[in-house]
Amino acid sequence: MQSDTIDTSDTIQGFQISPQQKRLWSLSRHDEHAFYRAQCLVSIQGPLQTARLRTAIEQVVQRHEILRTSFSSLQGMTIPLQVIHDSGDFKFIEYDKAASIEKLWNETRQAPFDVEQNGQLQISLITLSEDKHLLLASLPSIYADADGLHNLVADIGCCYDVQGEALGDGPMQYADVSEWQNELLHAENREPGRMYWRKQDLSSLTTLTLPYECKASETTDVAPQLVSHTLSPVQLQKIEALANKYETSTSVVLLTCWHILLARLTERTSIVIGTALNGRKYEEMKTALGLLTKYVPIECHLEPDSGFADLLQQQNEVMQKANTWQENFNWDDLVDAPDEFAEAPFFSFCFDYTEQPARYDAGEVSFTIAKEYVCTERFHVRLCCVRNAAGLTAEFHYDPKLYAATDIERLSAEFQTLIDSVLEHENAPITKLELVGEAERKQLLQEWNNTTTAYASVKCIQELFERQAAQTPNAVALVYEGRQLSYEELNRRANQLGHYLKSRGVGPETPVVLCVERSL
């Protein structure tokens, strides 16, 4: 496939950006664009030759046009073009073992970048010992997604192994992928897929919130944070067995649990989650570099008597249809008359499932992805499940302007408790599945109910109330069906009742029967 170039002037000759790149470009105009990064930390075992590694990276950059691409636009253009350069550059920085890996990881993740400049690939090499190194590869997300990172590491390992020899046929270039995706958006046979996505109910996108979401502050953008936990080998084994039993995948089991948790916490019967599809369902695209992943709406209808097994089958069918029509999903089709300068719509809650390859062998040296961070979409909370040789980790990425770390830690614990409950009672109605673990149950029933307060025993309850009424006469003391009484008003009514009882001969130690309905 050969892409058509667009010659806009004597100074710019480029290609259309892909729909995913256009989406990310739109998001980055409203957010701090440094959030949108794709990076991974690679453990290198064996007698690494640094010069040979650098040569391998140079070869990879020459093989993939997206690694030597910049983005440029003329005056008046809101969407840039991809400009491919004949040669590419990359940053290569070496550190010794004294370097703080965590600090380097965070600084790289939040580092600003300028996609109008060629050479955005950044490589940091940390030497731990003669046979142990760490390689940190980082790119703006407009160049790469999770699968693109995996392919990048695989290609570096392959080029390192062959020592500069020819690798045969070149990979599919991203400019060709972009051209194909843009053609699909205008294809005559696209209407069935377009209508499939138009039927999705996205009315809850702006209203779906967790009970403890706080109002967004006006402060400077803060990078998404995360809370994570690793599932036990027993849990993972049972999840995979459950997936096999119902002829589905581990990812669909976890997505169904995420739907149930959100439904229980928000008390909604319909939940839409933006779910990542990697855009590589065709064989020739599987080894491509570039941004192909997109988030599509996956809806789940839940009733109180819904059983987990039924919901799992429902989700499996929905995911199969979503995979069939994934190339036809486009935000512009779902938003009437989109304003280029209005805030881009997004999914409040997202889900993605990533399988990291075990390792890449290059002779005496092996490359293993130990950690990765990829952000290609805006969200409030995103559950990212990462499967690798060590097991499965559930990462809850969240907007720290909206949620406190303690709330997300509780959410993570509830997700784990829910999984345990599902594995024990797969046929139970979803309302019977447990969300609260022992630690949270103790907090709810014991710690938060420990309300004992010391006060002067010589004071009667009415005297304590009168003192409070004197201190805060206008504060609200009682609310019922939209009406309320202040402390002063309530105290006055109590005094009226007291005077009435005294007029009827009521004195100390006289029993008085009260027969009243709920009211002020």
**Residue boundaries of the structural domains of the chain:** 6-174, 189-215+222-356+375-447, 458-520
Q: What is the DSSP letter of 443?
A: I
| Per-residue buried b or exposed e for 107-137, using 16+ beta carbons within 10 Å of the residue's own CB | ebbeeebebeebbbbbbbbbbeeeeebbbbb
Residue type, 24: L
Look at residue 222 in the predicted model and tell me its pLDDT.
63
Q: Cβ of 243: how many Cβ atoms within 10 Å? A: 18
Look at residue 219 in the predicted model and tell me its pLDDT.
46
Task: Report which of 245, 290, 230, 239 is spatially closest to residue 84, judged by C-alpha positions.
Answer: 290
Helix, strand, coil distribution of the chain in percent, nearest 5: 40, 20, 40
Distance set, CA 470 to CA 463, 474, 493, 496 (Å): 11, 9, 15, 17
CATH of 6-174, one of 3.40.190.10, 3.40.50.300, 3.50.30.30, 3.30.559.10: 3.30.559.10
Domain 458-520 matching CATH 3.40.50.980: the answer reads yes
Contact residues for 56 (Cβ-Cβ < 8 A; gap 6+)? 156, 157, 159, 160
Q: What's the predicted TM-score (pTM) here?
A: 0.80
Look at residue 220 in the predicted model and tell me its pLDDT.
47
Q: Is the dihedral of CA 277, 281, 286, 291 positive or negative?
A: negative
Q: Phi, psi (5° rounding) for residue 251?
A: -65, -40
Contact residues for 446 (Cβ-Cβ < 8 A; gap 6+)? none
Task: Report which of 126, 146, 121 is spatially closest to residue 63, judged by C-alpha positions.
Answer: 121
- 3-class secondary-structure state, position 56: helix
Do the domains spanning 189-215+222-356+375-447 and 458-520 agree at the CATH topology level? no
Contact residues for 330 (Cβ-Cβ < 8 A; gap 6+)? 19, 185, 194, 197
Class assignment of domain 189-215+222-356+375-447?
Answer: alpha beta
Look at residue 140 in the predicted model and tell me its pLDDT.
94
- Give pLDDT tens digits along the chain (520 positions): 344 444 444 556 788 999 999 999 888 876 665 689 999 999 999 999 999 999 999 999 999 999 999 998 877 778 899 999 998 889 999 998 777 899 999 899 888 888 888 889 999 999 999 999 999 999 999 999 999 999 999 999 999 998 766 676 778 999 999 999 998 888 877 788 888 988 888 877 777 889 888 865 544 456 788 999 999 899 999 999 999 999 999 999 999 999 999 999 998 889 999 999 999 988 888 989 999 999 999 999 888 888 899 999 999 999 999 999 998 888 877 765 344 435 678 899 999 999 988 789 888 999 999 999 999 999 999 999 999 888 899 999 999 989 999 999 999 999 999 999 999 998 888 889 998 877 767 766 766 677 777 766 667 888 888 888 898 888 888 888 768 888 999 999 999 998 999 999 999 899 999 888 888 8
- 309: tokens are 């097994």
- 437: tokens are 């673990």
